[in-house]
Amino acid sequence: MRRLEGKNVLITGASSGIGEATAIKFGEEGANVAINYLHGEEDAQQVKKRLLTSCNALEASGCKTLLIQADVSRPEEVEGMFMEVLEAWGSIDILINNAGIQKESPSHTMSHDDFEKVIAVDLMGPYYCSMEAIRHFLSRDGEGIIINNSSVHELIPKPQFISYSVAKGGLENMTKTLALEYAGRNIRINSVAPGAILTPINPWKNDPDIKAKVESHIPMKRAGRPEEVAAVFAFLASKDASYITGQTIFVDGGLTLYPSFAENWSS
């Protein structure tokens, strides 16, 4: 039996990158997957097609799918998204807060609008979705799982991306606070924190020179693949992680290990 057989999962921002890889991985594990997207319906349709093809090849018994357009930064659209999934499937077992954006600017020149937009998507979006999920979980005796897509930048400062760093730092604390508050109600809440991953949000992946420079800072000397992050989401959503809550698992090739200390210069 696959680890997520028959589970209903909602994944935000699932039309590309880590969200796409996670949707396909959950399908392979037997889950029914609701694919949220904001723009790019054609991309979302392709994810659905890949997911169903993969499931059919594996003869998984789950793999019902939904495509849901919604802006997670708007609470009314989040509410509508949850209603759509619940009307179709009756329940949600797992929420993956994956949708995210980032904007680059020296901190002193970043516009208020750009700062607030990143906070709205990357922090308020997971908050709105988590509140809907928790209310649903509590309505059926409280069992449920939430997993947030954070970043190494919940820990490592990221100059010129202050809104992103602030959002991910807030997401770390939200994960821990909600995990503690609802642990006694059988609701597990964790985060996955990717490092440098080959996804569309990182355009350097298509520039060999810049990619090599990025990878020179990673102890494992390579960028990660979306599938490597998706595997950790699937683990945290499964019974294999049944005693884990309030944690962040870093999937970063060693970026959070203080790479400059690989050579002993400090003593």
Q: Which of 37, 128, 164, 182 is catalytic?
A: 164
164 has catalytic annotation: yes
Report CA-CA distances (Å) from 199 to 17, 28, 127.
Answer: 5, 21, 24
The full DSSP string for the chain is --TTTT-EEEETT-SSHHHHHHHHHHHHTT-EEEEEESS-HHHHHHHHHHHHHHHHHHT-S---EEEEE--TTSHHHHHHHHHHHHHHHS---EEEE---------GGG--HHHHHHHHIIIIIHHHHHHHHHHHHHHHTTT-EEEEEE--GGGTS--TT-HHHHHHHHHHHHHHHHHHHHHGGGTEEEEEEEE-SB-STT-GGGG-HHHHHHHHTTSTTSSPBPHHHHHHHHHHHHSGGGTT--S-EEEESTTGGG-GGGGS----
φ/ψ (deg, to 5) at 44: -60, -40
Active site residues: 164
